[in-house]
Amino acid sequence: MASHTYVATLKDSTTVFKNDIFQGKILFCTGGGSGICRGMTEAVMRHGADAVIVGRKLDRLTQTAKELSAATGRTCIPAQADVRQPKMLQEAVNKTIERFGKIDFVICGAAGNFLAPISGLSENAFKTVMEIDTLGTFNTIKATIPHVRQSKGSYIHVSATLHYKATPYQVHVSSAKAAVDALSAVLAVEEGPHGVRSNVIAPGPIGGTEGMQRLSNIADGNSSRLPLGRVGDIKDVANATVFLFSEAASYITGQVVVVDGAMEHMRHFQFPYPQAVLDPGSVQKMIQGKL
């Protein structure tokens, strides 16, 4: 069986972007207490920004904020809020303004997920995911937009690739993330004239996250079917975040940036992979005609 001849590099954004490009900027990040959004926050802080991370579990937020501050030399503070509750979000925004005076960047990343077929999914379970992912994104935009307009800032919404094709057992998240993509595009068009940008990052399966450990076996290090020879890392999403918030992306808005190492394009590839592309002769028997 042929194996990969190439494995994509995994570098810190600071090896590519200067470490002071976000000096004086303030990030407001929902979901920043853990996983991918924590990594996105850390990367933005490593380039000079201070941050507020938002979630429901104050203990974890407080611990994460301490660790991020220590790791980056910047300031990170926790703000407890459930994104389904506009009042709580407003309080988190008020806390941000009291402490830092402004908001430049917003990451809408809070989300929930689990596996369930439509036949086994309760109305309440569907509604809960829609409320956290979609309504939570809407609420976050509403609470932050006056400040982001003022700073001519930028949004990144964390979506997924599940809804590009039908993904069994993921109807709730697929529906919610499709709506998040739509929200971001409309935000880009409505707020562009105010100097605000809005983009989506759609991660593929990202290794080392709780979601992947629970929902999939791809993150178990089985990278033999992945075009770039390895599973996605939180750092891959973090690096895309730095680019999209940077001035290098000042004409990029209303877009979805997929960070999945081309996995999305692999869903219908019928032959053993990468054997089929590295050694076409090995699949000759399976096809009509010559490769």
Ligand X SMILES: NC(=O)c1ccc[n+]([C@@H]2O[C@H](COP(=O)([O-])OP(=O)(O)OC[C@H]3O[C@@H](n4cnc5c(N)ncnc54)[C@H](OP(=O)(O)O)[C@@H]3O)[C@@H](O)[C@H]2O)c1
Catalogue the active-site residues: 159, 177
Neighbours of 262 (CB within 10 A): 11
Q: Are 44 and 244 in contact (CB under 8 A)?
A: no
Q: How far is the CB of 216 from ligand X (least distance, A)?
A: 8
Under the criterion CB under 6 A, does residue 261 sit at the interface with ligand X? no
241 binds ligand X (CB under 6 A): no
Tell which residue, 264, 253, 260, 201, has the closest CA to residue 40.
Answer: 201
Cis peptide before 274 (omega within 30 of 0): yes
| CB 41 to ligand X: min, Å | 10
Could you say whether residue 30 binds ligand X (CB under 6 A)?
Answer: yes
- HSE (side-chain half, CA atoms, 13 Å) at 218: 18
Among the listed residues 21, 42, 105, 109, the single contact to ligand X using CB under 6 A: 109
CB-nearer residue toward ligand X: 53 or 196: 53
Residue 43 in contact with ligand X, rule: CB under 6 A = no
- Per CB under 6 A, the list member of 48, 86, 112, 272 interacting with ligand X is 112
Of the candidate spans 49-57, 91-99, 241-249, 280-288, the one that interacts with ligand X by CB under 6 A turns out to be 49-57
Q: Which is nearer to ligand X, 187 or 206 (CB)?
A: 206
In the complex, minimum distance from the CB of residue 59 to ligand X, in angstroms, rounded to a whole number: 9
Give me the residue label for tokens 């000096």.
Answer: 23
Among 27, 37, 68, 129, binds ligand X (CB under 6 A): 37
Among 110, 141, 200, 240, binds ligand X (CB under 6 A): 110
Q: If you count them, how many residues does the chain have?
A: 291
Q: Does 206 bind ligand X (CB under 6 A)?
A: yes
Size of the site for ligand X (CB under 6 A): 30
Contact 103, 147 (CB under 8 A): yes
Min CB(170)–ligand X separation in Å: 10
Distance CA 271, CA 286 (A): 8
Residue 195, interface with ligand X (CB under 6 A)?
A: no
Between the alpha carbon of residue 286 and those of residues 109, 149, 270, 291, the distances in Å are: 43, 57, 10, 11
Where do runs of H (alpha helix) occur along the chain? 35-46, 58-72, 86-100, 123-129, 136-151, 171-191, 210-215, 234-245, 275-278
Q: Interface with ligand X by CB under 6 A: which residues?
A: 30-31, 33-37, 55-57, 60, 82-84, 109-113, 132, 136, 158, 160, 203, 205-206, 209-212
